[in-house]
Every structure is written in structure tokens, then in C-alpha cells.
Amino acid sequence: MTDPLSPPPKKDPQKRTRVPALPSGMRSRAALGLAVAAAEGRFMLQGCEACGALQYPPRDACSTCLSVDLKWRDVEPTGQLIAETTVRTSTSVYFRERTPWRVGSVKLDAGPSVMAHVHGDVAREAAVRLINRLDKSGQGVFFALPVDGSANMADDPQLRELTADPKFRRVLITDARNENSVALAKAFADAGATTIFVGEPEGWRPYPHRAALAAIANVAIVPLDVTDTQSVTELAGEIGGKTDILVNNARFIRPGGIMDRGDTVFARDEFETNVLGLMRLAQAFGPPMRNRGADGVNSAAAWVNILSVYAYANMPAYGVFSASNAAALSLSQCLRAEMAPGGVRVLNVYTGPTEDEWHQPLPPPKVAPSALARSVVAGLKDGLEDVYVGDVAKDLIERWRQGPKLLEREMIAEAGEAR
């Protein structure tokens, strides 16, 4: 059984912060499919459309029939550990700093044998459950877990390298005024976060849930307005070096598209908060987080953006809000590239309409704050990059994958029906 993680000691100010090293991220184009699947936590292999044979390692042609029609498909992630080794000497700086490192060969019940990282609780020759996760280089890797979980399983040091588990980490959630901040803070408290900083804009006007927020264990309310560069810079100066997980939760939302609104005032507010807010936070908190990507048990681990799923396809009734989220989605991709050298994950949590005053006239289903918070924490624990919360978001991304133009047509038709 995994030993429970000990709380990290206070940092020794005389020691240099360990510079992040990464496992090799070089991959063939075909192998990038593993990262695509891992971004959502899916276990997938290439399957041959012609003969059905599963392939591994990723290929450009079927090793059974030479068809080049290979498609990634979800595969039963069970198998048996048929060989294992503990790497004690590695040519890679990343692994050298983390040896001993357990790897093994797993014979999948579905057919192929794969090399995988192996959890400490897996017994020799045991049945295993494989997961496909992003490693610090941002590439998909296989990890073999015991079939039955145990209490402290997530504390396995090799597994923790693949996740952004909030346990013993310090979290900054932006926008205390957002109705969901209480649920988010609670979820992080339950997940064992050491400190939960919650950024509060405009402390000069009250909001109903402030007392509830302040009452949560380990919550510290701090001044932060993502539309104000000085405010962001000042807070980063104070806590940037101990922000391990940042949840970019500020959103400005008003209904309306282009013509109904007739001005750009709310649009400007939406872009100030949803787009430039992300950028201000990233400019202030990004560099210290990236530098602390390998700083021990409470290393900087993840950046979370809470985005509207309509970033993918404009919802005309919230046309400008959708546009601001599309811009934020694009920026998040830039941020991913810039965070990559530190091994800091950028997790986008996409939601459909949320249970709040701005979606009040919309029919259900809507995403409750508690559901959103659960998804954020679960996504971090699983080390994901893309999470779709709720039925609306899952449905929309599925339709987007089937055809962005088709979805655009459907969104236009739905807007017409609503009128």
C-alpha cells in the first residue's frame, strides 16, 4: 500500500529551486494521438478500419494488413503485468532526479503488449488497469494501476508526476464574487489543499456569499481584480511564488449578440475579464509557476481556465460572450506552449450554461457550481487538459467533432427557434 504523502516542509531559503527538467517529449505525429486521448483521460489505441487489428506503438500502416486507415478507438484498459524493472540509472535528467522508477510490460487483454509506468501497489505479474495520462512533457504515457484502489493511491510519487493533485498544494481561485467560488473553495479544501487564496475584486461593495467563503478552512481572501494590471501584479508579487494551482475563474457575462446590444460596452468588459484577464494573470503568475514546475511535493502543477463550451461554436444569444471565450481558448493554447518548459499543465474546463443569474431564463440542464467544482478537482487529480462538464458541453463538443460547420448551422437554427 502506498504510504501517505507527508506535508512538504517549509522551503529552505538557502536552497536553489530545482530547475524543471522534462521527460523526452519527442514523438512521431502518429504517437501524438496518445496525447490527444490523454488530454481527456481516455485510454485509446489505433485500430485498423480494414481488418480490425489493434496497433501499438502508434503506426502509419496496419501491421496485419498494411491498410493505412488507422483510427484511434477506446480500448478496454485491462491487462497483466508480465515483466517489470526498476530503473536506477537513466540518461535523462528528469528520470535521473526521480529514480528509482518502476516500469513494466503489460499484456493488454485487448491484444498488444505495451510498456508502462507502474504504480507501487501493483504486485508482480498482477492484473492491472491501465490509464493514459499526460506526462510532464505533455505527451501521453501509459500507467499501470492496481485493479483495486487503496486509500493513498494518488500519493504514489510516480503517479503524482502525472497529476496535479491539490493535496498539499496552494491554490489561487480568482473572483470571489463569482457565485461558484464557494463551491470551488470547498472542493479544494476537501481535496486537501493547504491554502486556498480567493481573489476578491472591488472589496468596496459587498456580495452575499462572502461570509460562507471566509468560513471555509484554509481560505484566505485576497484583493485581486483581473481587469486591473496593478492589482494582479501586486498579488503575484506577494503569492506568485507559492501559487501551485491557479483557477482562472473570473468571467464577465451578459446575454446578447452584436445587433441586440448595439454597443461595445459589455463586449469590452467581457474581453477585459475573459481574455485580457487571463493574459494579465498569466503575465504575472505564469513565470513563477513555470519556474516552480519541479519544486517538490507542492510544485506548481496546473493552471485552470473555466471556459464556456461556446468557445468552440458561437451561441448567438450569448454571441459576444462566446467570442470572448473563443479568444480565451486560443490564448490557453498559447499559454500551454509557454507553460510547457515548466511541465505545468493547462487544464481547460468547458461548461455549458451555468446555474446563475445570467442563465436564469434558460431551460435546464444547467451546470451547478458544485458540479463544476467537482469536475475541476477531478480533472486536476487526473492530470487532464480538457474537461467537458455537464450534458450540454459534452453534447456540443461531440457535435463539434462531427463537423464544426454542421454545428454552426445547428447553432443558427437553434437561435431562430428561440426567437
The contact set with another protein (CB under 8 A) reads 23-24, 26-28, 30-31, 56-58, 63, 82-92, 94-95, 99, 101, 103-105, 107, 113-117, 124-125, 135, 137, 139, 141, 202-206, 223, 225, 227-231, 254, 263, 265-266, 269, 357
State how far the Cα of 345 lies from the Cα of 387, in Å rounded to an integer: 13
Question: At closest approach, how far in Å is the CB of 299 from another protein?
Answer: 20
Cβ proximity of 216 and 190 under 8 Å: no
Closest CB to another protein among 181 and 348?
181
Q: 92, 106, 100: which is closest to 157 by C-alpha?
A: 100
Closest CB to another protein among 262 and 416?
262
Closest CB to another protein among 111 and 404?
111
Identify residue 14 by its one-letter amino acid code: Q
Range 13-52 burial, b when 16+ CB lie within 10 A, else e: eeeeeeebbbbeeebeebeebbbebbbbbbbbbbbbeeee
Question: At closest approach, how far in Å is the CB of 212 from another protein?
Answer: 16
DSSP string, 174-229: --TTSTTHHHHHHHHHHTT-SEEEEEES-TTS--TTHHHHHTSTTEEEEE--TT-H
Q: 296, 285, 288: which is closest to 194 by C-alpha?
A: 296
Question: At closest approach, how far in Å is the CB of 158 from another protein?
Answer: 10
Closest CB to another protein among 359 and 374?
359
Closest CB to another protein among 141 and 246?
141
Cβ proximity of 14 and 6 under 8 Å: no
Closest CB to another protein among 50 and 87?
87
Closest CB to another protein among 140 and 352?
140
Grid coordinates representing 253 are 457575462
State how far the Cα of 214 lies from the Cα of 208, in Å rounded to an integer: 12
State how far the Cα of 226 lies from the Cα of 202, in Å rounded to an integer: 11
Grid coordinates representing 57 are 506503438
Element spanning 332, H or E? helix 319-339
Question: At closest approach, how far in Å is the CB of 193 from another protein?
Answer: 28
Q: DSSP code of 58?
A: -
Question: At closest approach, how far in Å is the CB of 105 from another protein?
Answer: 5
Identify residue 308 by its one-letter amino acid code: S
Question: At closest approach, how far in Å is the CB of 295 from another protein?
Answer: 22
Question: At closest approach, how far in Å is the CB of 163 from another protein?
Answer: 17
Closest CB to another protein among 133 and 170?
133
Question: At closest approach, how far in Å is the CB of 237 from another protein?
Answer: 15
